[in-house]
Amino acid sequence: MLTVKEKKMKDQNFIDYELIFEVHNAGDQAYLKSILDAEGITYYVQGEHVAPFVFHSVPMRLMVKKDQAATVRELLKGFERSSAYGGLKRKEDE
């Protein structure tokens, strides 16, 4: 028999998210959000409300629903992040 807490946990619909990449620039974030909104992708940007208060030293992480990650990677294949706020391309991103 399930406890009340276990039953609540089972009834909730958890969404598995996957990190696509990190951005440091609010312009990049707005651009990405507009593309994902237009395509109906489930996402959130971790750190989007904190980054402006710490001079964008904290990256904003683009997190998408795990089953949509391949679609998002294909959509954003040619996207190049801005170099503002330290968002330079890293070697591992190439």
Q: Domain extents for the chain?
A: 14-88
| Contact assessment for residue 18 and residue 66, using Cβ atoms and an 8 Å cutoff | yes
Q: pTM for this one? A: 0.68
Let me know if 28 is exposed, middle or buried by CB neighbors in 10 A (0-12, 13-18, 19+).
buried
Query: Quick one: pLDDT at residue 15?
Result: 80
Residue 14, CA distances (Å) to 2, 11, 47, 57, 94 in order: 18, 9, 20, 30, 33
Tens-digit pLDDT string for the chain (94 aa)? 677 777 666 666 678 899 998 888 888 889 999 999 999 999 999 988 887 777 667 888 999 999 999 999 999 988 887 755 444 444 555 5
Q: What's the CATH architecture for 14-88?
A: 2-Layer Sandwich (3.30)
- What are the helix (H) ranges across 1-94? 4-11, 26-39, 69-75
